[in-house]
């Protein structure tokens, strides 16, 4: 029976482990025991140097998902793949993921199917000091009191004439103070 299992890998080596495992499955003629090897990712929008950039982020760093029919040969093939540190599970027996867990993991960031908007990567946090880089209040400093990642907006308290004034700004209009 084909079930989804989680493999532990060295963080940052997920794609290499996926490629190694797929190569080993083919070279050892074990395609009948394996269906898919997946490194779960999601699209995020990051703001870098004032520019919006779409990037792929790993949902589970250090883990790879495998849909396979687990038996001794399949277990040994996966276990001996370079970069694999083991299966996730209690003791020596791997525990398969439930259907609900696999649906949630594989569809992260896709609320209405494949065409959903990428999730915004928030690089700002409450209480953080920022400098306004554009607009009427350029060169003013302020403190973040609200973050709205969906609209890519911040609410910043700016000190104007010795009064704290809340101002709503887009992510591109501010930069973090070092």
Lowest mean pLDDT among 13-22, 42-51, 53-62: 42-51
Mean pLDDT of all residues in 29-45: 89
Query: If you average pLDDT over every residue of the chain, what do you get?
Result: 84
The structural domains of the chain, ordered by start, are: 2-120 (3.30.70.940), 129-176 (2.30.30.30)
Query: pLDDT class for 118, splitting at 50, 70, 90?
Result: low
pLDDT in tens, 137-175: 888 999 999 988 777 888 999 998 888 889 998 888 888
Output Rg (C-alpha) for the chain, integer angstroms: 23
Distance, CA of 2 to CA of 65 (rounded, Å): 13
pLDDT greater than 60 at residue 116: no
Distance, CA of 118 to CA of 63 (rounded, Å): 22
* Residue ranges with strand state E in the chain: 2-9, 34-38, 41-48, 51-58, 63-69, 84-87, 119-120, 129-132, 141-148, 153-160, 163-170, 174-176
pTM above 0.85, yes or no: no
Mean pLDDT of all residues in 114-123: 58
Contacts of 121 (CB under 8 A, 6+ apart): 44, 45, 46, 47, 55, 57, 149
């Amino acid at each position: 029976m084909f079930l989804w299992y989680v493999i532990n890998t060295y963080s940052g080596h997920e794609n290499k482990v996926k490629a190694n495992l797929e190569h080993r499955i083919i070279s050892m003629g074990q395609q009948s025991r394996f269906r898919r090897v997946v490194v779960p990712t999601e699209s995020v929008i990051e703001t870098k140097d004032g520019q919006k950039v779409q990037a792929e982020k790993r949902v589970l760093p250090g883990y790879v998902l495998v849909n396979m029919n687990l038996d001794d040969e399949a277990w040994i093939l996966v276990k001996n793949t370079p970069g694999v540190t083991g299966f996730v599970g209690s003791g020596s027996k791997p525990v398969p993921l439930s259907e609900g867990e696999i649906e949630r993991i594989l569809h992260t960031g896709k609320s209405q199917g494949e065409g959903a908007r990428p999730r915004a990567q928030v690089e700002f946090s409450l209480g953080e000091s920022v400098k306004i880089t554009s607009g009427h209040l350029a060169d003013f400093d302020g403190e973040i009191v609200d973050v709205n990642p969906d609209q890519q907006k911040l609410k910043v308290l700016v000190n104007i004439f010795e009064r704290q004034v809340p101002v709503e700004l887009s992510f591109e209009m501010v930069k973090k103070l070092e």
